[in-house]
Amino acid sequence: MAETVRRERVDEVRAQGRAAVLGAFWEELKGIRREGWGNLWGYFFIAPAVIMYLIFQAWPILRGLFMAFSDYRWLLPETHGLSGFNGLENWIEMFGDKTFWRSLGIALKFTLMFLPFTLALSVFVAVMISRVRNPTMAAVYRVIAYMPVVLPVSVAMLVWAKLYDPKFGYLNVMLKNLGVQNPPNWLGSPKTALIAMTLPTIWSRFGYWTLLFLIGIYNINSEIYEAALVDGANGWQQLWSITLPLLKPIFTLVLVLGSGIVSATVESMALFQGTSGGPAESALTAGVYLYRTAFIHGDMRMGYAATMSLFLSFINMIITFIVFRTMRTESN
């Protein structure tokens, strides 16, 4: 009898202990909900944006990752879903695809032409505008510099295509007036096609970078320049020793934005009227080749195109990592 009473007492204490632990846990949970989670109405209001992101961003990324390891062809329903999974076959084919590697080389060549010239032009224009003392005129120059950015890329390329016309384009007419007897056929020659694509791309994008550099210049404390002026530093020395080093975060952002090697897809397609990649495919960038593989040729091999796109994403990630490591400031 005594043993039974003792066991009942022990069970009662254990039950009270469990209740105390559960009670403490519940109070802690309520505190987390109140302090860490915030107002639940906030989640209600951001739910539409989160749902849209999951549908149009997260799901396509996951879908693309799966397609990169499958022989997904749009016109062949039997290749859809798990039945199209082929492991590393797409990757093996990609590493042996000479057209892909040639298009990748063209994209890299385009980036190496586009990036430094656009960077130098943007910095130069930003520095010139920053030295304009009249606020109204500075605003006018900012608007002029940014105007090409407002135009859609496809429209800008079509305008430049008219300028490149071998007979009636203003560019060749101007060259003939300057004494050039046989001006180049800009869009019809493999030697000039890539250059012809780079020039309008620089024109249409440098304005955005110019504003970024202007923001950085305007945020530099003017007392630094005054101190340098007192020490006898001229304008070039101030630019080299003060302005450019303090613009390092802007340089990092611009290099990351401009180093995408899949760029110039729209530029090439608009200038050369389709996915031909220009004369002798001299302007066939990786982006155009991806589009052509996925939506134009054969059975619309979206699986193989996803593999190439994923590989290019890896390269962009490596480039971005190198940029961040190289441009790291002392404060980081």
Whether 73 is in a domain gets the answer no
Whether 210 is in a domain gets the answer yes
pLDDT higher than threshold 90 for residue 182: no
User: In this predicted structure, what is the pLDDT of residue 102?
Assistant: 93
User: In this predicted structure, what is the pLDDT of residue 95?
Assistant: 93
Helix axes 193-218, 153-163, angle to 10 degrees: 130
Of 329, 321, 320, nearest to 259 (Cα)? 320
For 272, the domain range is 93-326
Degrees, nearest 5: CA angle 19-25-26: 90
Whether 85 is in a domain gets the answer no
pLDDT digits (tens, 9 = 90+) for 20-61: 666 666 666 665 555 456 677 888 889 999 999 999 989 988
Sign for the pseudo-dihedral over CA of 269, 195, 114, 94: positive
Whether 282 is in a domain gets the answer yes
Of 259, 167, 157, nearest to 199 (Cα)? 157
- Residue 19 CA, chain-centre distance (Å), reads 55
pLDDT digits (tens, 9 = 90+) for 297-330: 778 888 999 999 999 888 888 888 888 888 775 5
Whether 114 is in a domain gets the answer yes
Domain count, the chain: 1
CA distance 223 to 237: 16
> What is the DSSP annotation of 264-283?
-HHHHHHHTTSSS-SGGGTT
User: In this predicted structure, what is the pLDDT of residue 176?
Assistant: 86
The single residue listed with the structure tokens 């019809």 is 188
pLDDT band at 157 (very low <50, low <70, confident <90, very high): confident
pLDDT digits (tens, 9 = 90+) for 183-236: 888 888 888 889 988 999 899 888 999 999 999 988 888 888 888 888 777 878
Whether 315 is in a domain gets the answer yes
The 10 Å CB-count burial string (b at 16+, else e) for 44-75 is: eeeeeeeeeeeeeeeeeeeebeebbbbbbbee
pLDDT digits (tens, 9 = 90+) for 88-119: 999 999 999 999 999 999 988 998 888 899 99
CA distance 128 to 145: 11
User: In this predicted structure, what is the pLDDT of residue 13?
Assistant: 45
In this structure, of 152-156, 171-175, 258-262, 325-329, the range with the lowest mean pLDDT score is 258-262
**What's the mean pLDDT when you consider all of the chain?**
83
**What is the token pair recorded at 191?**
């030697």
pLDDT digits (tens, 9 = 90+) for 253-283: 888 888 765 567 777 888 887 777 888 888 8
Whether 307 is in a domain gets the answer yes
Output the pTM of the full model: 0.78
CA distance 124 to 140: 17
User: In this predicted structure, what is the pLDDT of residue 19?
Assistant: 65
Whether 66 is in a domain gets the answer no
Where residue 153 sits, what CATH number does that domain have? 1.10.3720.10
70 beta partners: 85
